[in-house]
Structure formats: C-alpha cells, structure tokens
Structure 1
Amino acid sequence: MASAHVTDSAGEESRTSWTPLLAIFFAQVLMSINVTALPISLSGMIESFDATPTEVSTGIVTYGLVVAALVMTGAKLGQKFGWVVVFRVVIVVFAAAMVLMFLAPAVWVMITAQALAGASAAIIVPALVALIAENYRGEQQATAVGSLGSARAGSGVTAFLLGGILGTYAGWRPVWMILTALAVVVFALSFKLRSDTADRSVVIDVVGALLIGVSVVSLTLGFNNLNDWGAFLASDDAPFSVLSVSPALLLLLVGVLLGQLFFAWTRHRVRLGRTPLISLDVVGSKSERSAVYALFVVVALEAALNFTVPLYIQVVQGNTPLATSVAMIPFNLTVFVAAMVVVRFYKRFSPRTIALTSFLLTTAALVWLAFVVTNNWETVATIVGLIVFGAGQGALVTLLFNVLVTSSPKHLAGDVGSLRGTTQNLASAVGTALAGAMLVGVLGLVFAANMASSSLPESLRREAGLDNVNFVSNDDLRAALRPTSATPEQTDDAVRINSDARLRALKIGLLAFAAVSALAIVPVRNLPAFDPREIPDPKPRETV
C-alpha cells in the first residue's frame, strides 16, 4: 500500500492528515485504560471474587507478562502479514477479552481475560510505532510519537474518573463494557490507516521467541512471588525448593540466563545471514541502551506508585474507588500535560538535559512523599508530591521513546515498537510485583517488631491470626478481633500497631522507590547531548 506522504516540487515534505492518527491514538487509549482500571477496581474485584489483593493484582501482572513475552513475536507477525490487517484482527480479539472481563464470575476468568488482552496488545504495541513511521515523517512523526505518551497519560485520567465514579455507584464491571465499545470505534478508524504491504518472506525466529518468552515469564513470576515463596530460602508456601532455595530466586536466575542466551542466539543468526526476532541495531549504541534502561526504571516506578496508592486508599483506609480517583487525578493530569509539553523542549534542550532534570524531579518527589505522607492521601503536601513526580514521569516516557524512534531507520520501526512493548510491560509487571512484595515484607517486619514490644499475649496473636500479616483496614482488624478474647484495650493496641506498621512500611517503600529513581541518573548521562532530529536518517549498523 502506498505511503501516506506526498513530496512537493521543492522537495519539501507535505503535511499528512491527522485522521489516521486517531486509530493509533485510541488504540493506545484502549490498552492503557484497561490496565489502569485494574488497580482502581481492586476493592470491587476483591469483594466480587472473594479474593485477596495479591490474587487480584495477578491480573495486572499477567497482562504485562504476556505482552512482554510475546511482543517481539507480534512485531514479526505484523511485518509478515501486514500491519493494518493484523491490527484489525487483534483489536477484535481485544474486544472479546473486554467482554470476558465484564462477565467474569471468578478471579481466574479475570486473569484469563487479561492474558488474552495481553496477547492482543503484544501485536498492537509494535503496530502503533510501525504505523506512525509509515504514515508520518519529520515533526509530524515526533508529534505522533508524543501523542502515544499523552494518550497513555490521558487514559490514566479517564480510567481513574470512569473507574472511580462507576466503581463507586455502579460497580467495577461497566468500565470494560465501555472499552468494548471503544474497541469497535478503533476497528472502524483502522480503515483510515495506510501501511506497507505484507512481506511473506519474513521468517519468525521460533527459538528466539521461546528464549525471550520463557525468560520474561520466569523473571516476572520470580519477582511476583518473592514475598510468598521467599527471597532466598523457600517459605512454607513455596510449591517446591531446591536445596531449600526459594523457587522465586531460581526463576530469576533462569530468566537472566535465558535472556543472555537470547542475545547470543540473535547474534548467531545475524552472523549466519538469517533474520533475528529483533534487530539488535535498535540498541546498538550506548545512548539507545541507556534510553531502554531509563525507560524500564520510570515505568516500573509508575507501576509501583499506581499499585501502592489504590492499595492504601481502598484496602487500608477502606475508601471508595472514587476517593482513589480524586487522589490520583492531579498526578495523571500532570503526566498527560508533561507528555505533551515536553515535545516543545526538544529544540531548546538535549535529551540528556531533559532526562536528568526529569529524574531529579521524580527522585525529589518520592523523597518528599516519604516524609510528608500520612494515612490520609488527600493532603495538599501529598498531592504536590504526586504532581511533581507526574511531571518528571510524563516527560521521561515520551522523551525516551522518541530517542529510540529517531535513532533507528524506518524499516526497524516495528522492532523499536516491540522493544518498547517488552520494556514497558516487563517493567510494569516487575514494578507492581516488587511494590507488593516489598510493602508486604516491610509491613511484616515492622508489625512483628511492634507486636514483640507490645503487651498483647502470644495466645491472642495466634487466635486472631495476627501472625499472617497483610494490608487490612482498621475496621477489618477490629472485626477480626471482635469474636476473640481481646479486650477493648487490646483491640485498640492492635489497631495502633497496625496503623503504625502500615505507615512505616509505606514510608520505607517510597524511600526505596526514590533510591531506584536516583540510580537511573547514571545511565541517563549517556543519552544524546543533542537533538536527535538533527541527525540524518541512520543507516543500518553492524550489530555489536
């Protein structure tokens, strides 16, 4: 199919209609609302499915895991059968997953629906980048790339509004029926897209797909189960152990090993003149690798914060999804604005300068939150911290993605998209998993220490099940102690210990997030000190 671009007689590139971008924009919105609405619907799903927060968060992890595991294969499917055709097919599959979410009678059905949605998104993610590269050039391309960041951020605002209002007054399910309708709109808009013809000669590297897929699954499952199965030694809940070593740690080691084997296998295929699953040219320079590292960190931090805030507001404080929306809207609005506005700074400041400034903002915001946060998220000081973090985060996601797109030739756009999808979704899954594991782990340590110094007898702790620590509201804790032999004074003491442990776990967690953000400044120093758009369209490089 012909390109959407026309060149005038003076050699100037004419502007292309923005209509095709609507399909790309709303496809990103579709995926983003789905995954953002999950933590907002946390309390409703817990009640509906009679499940724990960890079980429900598995749905979030599953979506990211499946996308990250399959997105490189999805990129090759798009090249082989044509981006527009494949895009339409998977939008239909995604719509089916949204219907399944709406009807889900149990937590395992919800997780299955998210796995199906993730498999569809594994093709949609690289398709968005490839379709932008095919339909737009120059400044229009930079604007279109920025639109993906703003769509992602704007979807957060929309998801929190929809999830909060509907979750409070109509239940958590209607959000996914709205997404089904949006998928129909995206399908209709897809007929405005232009794409290259299918390349039937593209060969999918099955060995590479298996290596990277199993590697991503192993890493995600390992991170997700560090708390339940043990970080080093296997706990009683671990399904198995090897010489008493936790299977979570073993999965992490297997994931790292398979990841290294994938890169070795990819280099081997290139030497033989065969098509790899992904061209390593997209990470051939130090600046591109640094952009990937930084992108992973900022998305993981965003996922950790998006999991932590709803957890505290809904499960700990016992508030409604609407309260979560009110607390998070300033953050998401800031991300949306920053993702759009940062494009205007590309001609005035280098990517390195913008990224360093943005990571300084996210680090300062997390440190600030660790000191000012209380058991009430809706304070002015807390909202200010979220806004500052949102400004840095929104700018970083758009900037880093643009660095990757503008540093690679057009024919590698699908590979850039798959790299972005693998990085963002693996980071999201890891960020959510680590946040949950770390917060519960710290909570357990603080709670146990407070209990040991309290006057509560050991018999009461066993009777009330206080040895099995998780995040509960004060009202739920009082209800759990009511049928026991606890006196009113002992109940008040347990509630005080619970409140203190939760808040200290939150503060320690935020400081840990801040430390990760600060460490990301190291790779950012390798980003370009110039405007990437000033560099001519790069030629394919030797793979290193």
Structure 2
Amino acid sequence: MKHWRALIVLGTAQFLMVLDTSVMNVSISRLVDDFDTDVTAVQAVITLYALVMAAFMIIGGKCGDIFGRRRLFVAGLAVYGTGSALTAAAPTLGVLTLGWSVIEGLGAAMVLPAMAALVAESYRGPDRAVAYGVIGGLAGAGIAVGPLLGGWVTTYLTWRLVFAGEVVVVVALLGCHRMITESRRSGPRPRLDGVGATLSAAGLGLCVLGVLQSSTWGWVQPQNPPFTVLGFAPTLFVVAAGVALLSGFRAWEHRRGTRGEDPLVHLSLLGRPALRSGLLALLSQNLILLGLFFTIPLYLQVVQGFDAFQTGLRLLPVSVTMLLASAVASRVGRVAGPRRVVRAALVCLAAAIVWLLATIDPVIDDAQFAGAMALLGVGMGLLASQLGNVVQSSAGEEERSEVGGLQFTAQNLGSALGTALIGSILIGALAHAFTTQVEQVPRLSEEARRQTSIALESGINFVSTEQVHTAAEQAGLPPYQVRAVTDSYASAQLDGLKAAILATGGITLASLLVTGPLPSGRRGGPAPQTPGAAADPAGREQ
C-alpha cells in the first residue's frame, strides 16, 4: 500500500482540477444571474481558464526540471488554493476571472506537468500502466461527480461552496506532500528560456482570443469589433498574429538548440510519430468534450429550463459510462493496441453525436437523451484510457517534464478551442437562423424586422425565449408580432445548437486521420519502440 500513497496525492490533484471545469459548465445560468452578465461573458471566463493553462503548461513543465518536480507540484497547489479562495469570495465577474481563470489556471499549469512526470518517474512497467489508468479514472470521476455535485450545490446552496471545499482539499494535499518521492537529478540545472516562454504564451493566447471573439467581431465582415483592419473584422488578423508568433517561437527554439542552449521545449520531440499523434488526439478529445459540455448545458438550462442539479442528473450517464469504459479499456488496450481502441472511441463519439442531434427538440426525450449521453461517455472513456500512457511512453526519463507540458498544453488548448470555437459556431448559427426566420414570417411588420435587425447588429446572446418575449414587448410590438418573434427565436435556438453539435461531429471524424501513427501492437508483447521511449527488460513499452 505504501507504494501507492504518492498516487493518491497525485490523483487527488488531478481529480480536483477536472472537477473545476465541470462545475462551471453546469453553473452557467446561475453565474449569469449572480453577476448580471450574459452567456458570452461566462464563455470567455471558461475559455480563459483553459487558455491560461495551455499557454503556461510548457513553461510549467520546464520549471519542474529547473526547480524540482515535487517542489513545483507543492508550489502549484498553493497557488491553486489561493485562486480557489478568491473565486469562492468573488464579488464581481472580474474577480472571478482573476481567481479562477488566471490564478487557478497558473496553479494548474504548475501542478499538472509535474504530476505527469512524477507518476512516470515513480512507477515502471505494468505499474505505470496501472498508475495512468488510475489517473485517467480519477479524471473521469471528476467529470462524473462535477455536474452532479456542482449542480446540487449550485441549486440548493451556492456554487461558491465548491471552491471553498477545494481550499480544504488543497490544504490536506499540502500536508501529505512528503508521500511523493523524487529522484535526484544529475548534471547542471537547465535555465528558463524567457523569450521562448513569451512567444509561446502570446502566440497561443492570440490564436484562441481570435476564435473566441469571432462571434462578436465577425470573421471577415465586421459585426461589433472594437476596431477594424482595412475595413475587415480583426479576427483573422489576430489569429494570424498568433500564428506568426508561434512560427517565431519555433525558429527561436531551433536557434537555441543549434547553439547548445536550453530551449523551452525540444521541438524535435514532435518528430516522433506516436507522440505527435497522441498529442493531436488529446487536443481533439478535449475540443470535442468541452465543446459539447458548453453546448449541452445551454440546451438543458436555457431551452429546457432545468436548474443546475437537474442538468447534472441528465449529464450523469456520460460520466458513469466514461468511468466504466476507461477502467475496462485500459486492459483491452494491452491486447488490441491503442490505435484500435482510439479509432473505436472516435466511431462511438460520432454515433453518439448523431444520436444527440436527433434529441435536440423543444421537448426533451429523456430516454433518448440519456442513451446518447451514455454512448458519448463510452467513447470518451475509451480515449481517456489510452492517450496519456501513449504520450508518456514516447518519452525517455529525462524528457518527462517536457512531454508532460506538451501533453497538458494539447489538452487545455483543445479545451480552450472547444469552448471558444463551438461557442462561436453556436452564436453565429443562432444569429443566422434568427435572421432567416424573421425574414420568412409574413406576419411581421417592417418596423419589427428593422428593430430585430438593429438588435442583431449590436450582438446576439444565447438567452431564454422569455427574455426575447419581454424585449419584444418592451419594444412596443403588438402581441401577435411578439409571439412571432419569440417563436422565430425558439426555432433559431435549436438550429444554433444543432450546428454547434454537428461541428463537433465533423471534428470527431477528422480526428480519425491522425490515428495512423498510434501504436498498434499488443502491449503485452514486443512492439516497435518509438525513438526515445523507455522499455522494461521484457521489451514492453512503458
């Protein structure tokens, strides 16, 4: 039992950080009410949390090499706990953003790469596979518990209690940190590449910012941007600036490598097919999951009118089956190979998304919805059981922190893009469908169409039909036109939701294209070694 004590501490930290996002997703409506804001603002807060983690994960991994992985893990927990305390007491949305999105995000960027490296360092051979299975299972448990616990606490008490509880857990983990062991590192201590860190963080930040704001700014034709560029919306220019900075980061890292200096990350790692494929699959997994977990709660809370606890109950099937599938598939993967399991997972996800599309109606069919959620959980569980071990097994012992940084960068970049991109598609499709619906209703007067057009030009949000009904009445429209506008918006809501979910289906199918380099042999026997991968004496990939 003593051998596994460290895993309890490390796994609890993983559970805590997964719990966070799932609680926020089911609390969207309450956050909108508590802070007198809109869905788009909450979307930005959720996206920023994932973006901060994505931008600083590589830096966090490097800092683990410089200062020690256990030391960084402990320091990260302290930062994370501080952010949780501030979030619990946040009086405004700005303070919530600082506490949750920024401080907790920075803490997670310190904790997670160190955690991945410490797990890989502490366990070998079959124990390592078991350890990563436990970590994946606890992540699944966070997703399972988050919607239900967060929904219950949000509905009957307050969401703030979840973050206050996190502070207590963090204090307990800090008291147990000596259970984690770390081997002494030989050789000179590496140095942090400040220029590379700045370029990577700024590049990733601008790319996600452009995608996030696309629903407000417009992609090409300006809608409601703070400025224009040559008469065009700034979105593509912001994304292009981010890509340019990332290209500069690549060139800078190559230059440092050729000079024999410590780069922020050895980009040659991405030349390993299995590692590159695993990272892309992780990015896709989180893009799909967070895109759906942003969209589905909006359908349940805004369209169906469910509270946070009722929303959590309806998300429970995906959580339960994800946990079960992850536990079973970790054994199946040793026989069938990660490539087959990952491909089966993507097929399950695609089928679940098709099924889910069929359930998006004005009145929910609980049985059909639960079936789609259960199948979605199976697909996610199959993915979660394989990808972490594939990525870490592609690295040598000295590369654990760097690969951990890349691993969680991919995951959180996927999360940020999932919330930003799918949210942008949702709002864009909603605006287009509402415009089309209004134009096709013969009962509406030209004045009603004009007022609707003015409202759309100032920006559209995903709100309830009751709010649209009230706004139409306040605009002085006669009752029959109020009903027509409200019905048009209700129909547009469903069209927007279906477009967003359909986009996740397209990403799922496209993800099959990156699975070719994943390991295909049995893990229990000899398999081709990825360059840099460690193997136990029996020749099994670790």
Same fold (TM over 0.5): yes
In 1, Cα distance between the equivalents of 2:282 and 2:321? 18
In 2, Cα distance between the equivalents of 1:68 and 1:184? 25
Find 1:310's aligned residue among 276, 297, 303: 297
Deviations 1:126-171 (A, max 9, x none): 0111110221111111111122222221111211122111111112
Kindly provide the amino acid, as one letter, of the partner of residue 21 in structure 2. Answer: V
Find 1:515's aligned residue among 489, 501, 506: 506
Alignment of 1:46 with 2:37, yes or no, is no
Kindly provide the amino acid, as one letter, of the partner of residue 146 in structure 2. Answer: A
Q: 1:444 to 1:277 in 2, by over 3 A?
A: same
Q: State the partner residue of 1:131.
A: 118
Find 1:147's aligned residue among 127, 134, 154: 134
Q: Is the 8 A contact 1:287 1:527 kept in 2?
A: yes
Q: Is the 8 A contact 1:371 1:507 kept in 2?
A: no
Extract unaligned runs of 5+ from structure 2.
534-542
Cα displacement (A) at 1:209 = 0.9
Q: State the partner residue of 2:248.
A: 261
Q: State the partner residue of 1:336.
A: 323
Deviations 1:383-415 (A, max 9, x none): 211211221122113312211111211221111
Q: State the partner residue of 1:98.
A: 84
Find 2:208's aligned residue among 217, 220, 225: 220
Kindly provide the amino acid, as one letter, of the partner of residue 475 in structure 1. Answer: E
Cα displacement (A) at 1:460 = 3.0
Q: Is the 8 A contact 1:101 1:109 kept in 2?
A: yes
Q: State the partner residue of 2:536.
A: none
Instruction: Find the residue that maps to 2:225 and give its secondary structure.
Output: coil
In 2, Cα distance between the equivalents of 1:289 and 1:27? 26
Find 1:441's aligned residue among 428, 437, 442: 428
Alignment of 1:241-390 (within 5 A): 241-377=228-364, 379-390=366-377
Alignment of 1:138-177 (within 5 A): 138-177=125-164
Cα displacement (A) at 1:267 = 2.4
Q: Is the 8 A contact 1:31 1:121 kept in 2?
A: yes
In 2, Cα distance between the equivalents of 1:357 and 1:536? 22
Q: State the partner residue of 2:198.
A: 210
Kindly provide the amino acid, as one letter, of the partner of residue 336 in structure 1. Answer: L
Extract unaligned runs of 5+ from structure 1.
1-14
Q: Pairwise CA RMSD of aligned residues?
A: 2.0
Cα displacement (A) at 1:227 = 0.8
In 2, Cα distance between the equivalents of 1:538 and 1:410? 14
Kindly provide the amino acid, as one letter, of the partner of residue 115 in structure 2. Answer: L
Q: State the partner residue of 2:47.
A: 61
Q: State the partner residue of 1:121.
A: 108
In 2, Cα distance between the equivalents of 1:298 and 1:377? 26
Q: 1:306 to 1:377 in 2, by over 3 A?
A: farther
Q: 1:352 to 1:423 in 2, by over 3 A?
A: same
Q: 1:20 to 1:111 in 2, by over 3 A?
A: same
Kindly provide the amino acid, as one letter, of the partner of residue 494 in structure 1. Answer: V
Alignment of 1:402 with 2:389, yes or no, is yes
Find 2:20's aligned residue among 29, 34, 44: 34
Cα displacement (A) at 1:532 = 5.3
Find 2:176's aligned residue among 173, 179, 189: 189
Q: Is the 8 A contact 2:215 2:424 kept in 1?
A: yes
In 1, Cα distance between the equivalents of 2:490 and 2:391? 45
In 2, Cα distance between the equivalents of 1:265 and 1:397? 33
Instruction: Find the residue that maps to 1:374 and give its secondary structure.
Output: coil
In 2, Cα distance between the equivalents of 1:39 and 1:363? 22
Q: 1:515 to 1:175 in 2, by over 3 A?
A: same
Q: State the partner residue of 1:428.
A: 415
Q: Is the 8 A contact 1:70 1:119 kept in 2?
A: yes
In 2, Cα distance between the equivalents of 1:469 and 1:214? 29
Q: State the partner residue of 1:486.
A: 477
Kindly provide the amino acid, as one letter, of the partner of residue 248 in structure 1. Answer: T
Cα displacement (A) at 1:32 = 1.0
In 2, Cα distance between the equivalents of 1:405 and 1:143? 13
Cα displacement (A) at 1:518 = 0.6
Q: State the partner residue of 1:107.
A: 93
Q: 1:471 to 1:458 in 2, by over 3 A?
A: farther
Instruction: Find the residue that maps to 1:266 and give its secondary structure.
Output: helix
Cα displacement (A) at 1:477 = 2.3
Instruction: Find the residue that maps to 2:189 and give its secondary structure.
Output: coil
Kindly provide the amino acid, as one letter, of the partner of residue 506 in structure 2. Answer: A
Instruction: Find the residue that maps to 2:385 and give its secondary structure.
Output: helix
In 2, Cα distance between the equivalents of 1:469 and 1:405? 43
Cα displacement (A) at 1:285 = 1.9
Instruction: Find the residue that maps to 1:346 and give its secondary structure.
Output: helix
Find 1:201's aligned residue among 175, 183, 189: 189
In 1, Cα distance between the equivalents of 2:433 and 2:39? 20
Kindly provide the amino acid, as one letter, of the partner of residue 196 in structure 1. Answer: S
In 2, Cα distance between the equivalents of 1:428 and 1:402? 20
Q: 1:499 to 1:348 in 2, by over 3 A?
A: same
Cα displacement (A) at 1:485 = 2.8
In 2, Cα distance between the equivalents of 1:539 and 1:423? 21
Kindly provide the amino acid, as one letter, of the partner of residue 266 in structure 1. Answer: E
Q: Is the 8 A contact 2:272 2:531 kept in 1?
A: no
Q: Which moved more, 1:483-492 or 1:251-260?
A: 483-492
In 1, Cα distance between the equivalents of 2:364 and 2:235? 33
Q: Is the 8 A contact 1:365 1:386 kept in 2?
A: yes
Cα displacement (A) at 1:208 = 1.3
Q: State the partner residue of 1:178.
A: 165
Deviations 1:269-325 (A, max 9, x none): 222222221123432222221221121111100000010011122233332101110
Q: 1:125 to 1:378 in 2, by over 3 A?
A: farther
In 1, Cα distance between the equivalents of 2:410 and 2:34? 32
Alignment of 1:416 with 2:403, yes or no, is yes
Kindly provide the amino acid, as one letter, of the partner of residue 159 in structure 2. Answer: W
In 2, Cα distance between the equivalents of 1:117 and 1:377? 36
Q: Is the 8 A contact 1:80 1:198 kept in 2?
A: no
In 2, Cα distance between the equivalents of 1:110 and 1:386? 30
Q: State the partner residue of 2:437.
A: 450
Q: Is the 8 A contact 1:299 1:397 kept in 2?
A: no
Kindly provide the amino acid, as one letter, of the partner of residue 288 in structure 2. Answer: L
Kindly provide the amino acid, as one letter, of the partner of residue 6 in structure 2. Answer: P
In 2, Cα distance between the equivalents of 1:438 and 1:495? 21
